[in-house]
Amino acid sequence: MIRFIHTGDLHLGLQFKDVAFHRDKAENRRLELWNTFERIVYKAIEDDVDFLFIAGDLFEEEYFTLGDMKRVRDNLAKASDVRTIITAGNHDPLRGNSLYNRVDWPEYVTIFAAGGIEKKEFVDKGVLVYGYSWDTVENREDILEELPDLDEKRINILIIHGDLLDRNSVYLPLDRNLDKVGFDYIGLGHIHKPTIYSNTMAYCGSPEPLDFGEIGPRGIIEGTIDENGTNIEFTPFSKRMFLERRLEIDEDMGYVDIMDELKTIDEESERTINLYRVILKGVVNRDVNLDLEDMARDLGEYFYYIELIDETTMDYDLEALEAANRDNIVGYFIREMKDRGLEDRLTRDALYIGLDVLMKG
């Protein structure tokens, strides 16, 4: 039996320059990527796995330094009983001047060369690993064409960074049929959302999410392969999650009510670790001043990070509006909606949304 950990898309070195969240949080995030990488290596050692697969985008070429590369090397060097397998992705392509080529690697770390699918044998483990490294930032090769024959007496594993979701992708489009070729495991990189397609094919996803485009749990894939087949499972491993919540408010709620709801939108143990985006929905009382930045600041001690998005509508003074607009479309609209019955939540929301449009128009 062999045991493995499959990771990828760590994006070490990323500087989070474009993200919406505050600079000190972004700087923290950069350190947390490193910390999570180091935790993964430590786990590989502790769990005594046979292989640690890294399926591309280990680092950000744009920001990475030789010192950073040595830090990667020195971490992996600690895992001397683990075969670490690295295939390069589109963010860390393996071309001539790549930092991958500028440090000396221990013999138990294998970095696949660019230029097509390569095969490496690990005799003591009875394993053949097929790997593919990028040497460009875009790539439309058809790798199914060049797949070598598998050796059925061995365990066959493919590690590759590519796009299984889009046949027209410029990021190495892959075919779902890859799973039918006969590999005991296909460890994919590139899509940051962890996705298990079958027992034998999965995206590990980014172990540490990078922004609000990567909502929910993130982690690693842990697996075993023996004569009965392959078993894999997703293990949450990120230090923090990006989370999105919705808060429905209504015209009966004052500022304090809204803040109280926000403060308790999740357990304290979650709020003080994760990064939250809360979308405010519903109808706001016209006396409540929703200053989102002030509110987020006020909530600072309740959340590690929170940002608010306002998708509310205002509750208009219907009597005054109707009186002032008796003979135009605003008045007609209010009367029509009143006739339909404002005790119905949907009708009332439709009225306020419609008024928003009409008043701004």
Which residues contact Mn ion (rule: CB under 5 A)? Answer: 9, 57
Nearer to Mn ion, 47 or 138 (CB): 138
Q: Which strand (E) or helix (H) includes residue 171? A: none
Q: Indicate the residue whose CB is closest to Mn ion.
A: 57
Give least dist CB 194 to Mn ion, A: 13
248 in the Ramachandran plot: left (φ > 0), alpha (ψ -120 to 50) or beta?
Answer: beta
Q: How far from chain centre, in Å, is Cα 65?
A: 24
Give least dist CB 161 to Mn ion, A: 8
Q: How many residues does the chain have?
A: 361
Nearer to Mn ion, 50 or 57 (CB): 57
Angstrom distance (rounded) from CA 87 to CA 217 = 24
Nearer to Mn ion, 9 or 50 (CB): 9
Give least dist CB 163 to Mn ion, A: 11
Give least dist CB 212 to Mn ion, A: 16
Token couple for 244: 């999105």
Closest by CA to 120, choosing from 53, 173, 70, is 53
Closest by CA to 87, choosing from 46, 122, 130, is 130
Give least dist CB 195 to Mn ion, A: 14
Partners of 173 in beta bridges: 163
Give least dist CB 33 to Mn ion, A: 12
Nearer to Mn ion, 9 or 208 (CB): 9
Closest by CA to 108, choosing from 44, 34, 203, 183, is 44
Cβ-contact 286, 314 below 8 angstroms? yes
Query: Residue written as tokens 């172990």?
Result: 207
Nearer to Mn ion, 9 or 251 (CB): 9
Cβ-contact 337, 351 below 8 angstroms? yes
C-beta neighbour count of 244 within 10 angstroms: 13
Angstrom distance (rounded) from CA 23 to CA 243 = 19
Angstrom distance (rounded) from CA 184 to CA 129 = 10
Give least dist CB 192 to Mn ion, A: 6
Give least dist CB 214 to Mn ion, A: 10
Give least dist CB 232 to Mn ion, A: 20
User: Residue 345 contacts by C-beta under 8 Å, 6 or more apart in sequence?
Assistant: none
Nearer to Mn ion, 9 or 266 (CB): 9
C-beta neighbour count of 22 within 10 angstroms: 12
Nearer to Mn ion, 2 or 86 (CB): 86
Nearer to Mn ion, 57 or 184 (CB): 57
Nearer to Mn ion, 54 or 127 (CB): 54
Angstrom distance (rounded) from CA 284 to CA 151 = 66
Partners of 231 in beta bridges: 224
Closest by CA to 54, choosing from 220, 240, 277, 196, is 220
Nearer to Mn ion, 57 or 266 (CB): 57
Give least dist CB 302 to Mn ion, A: 32
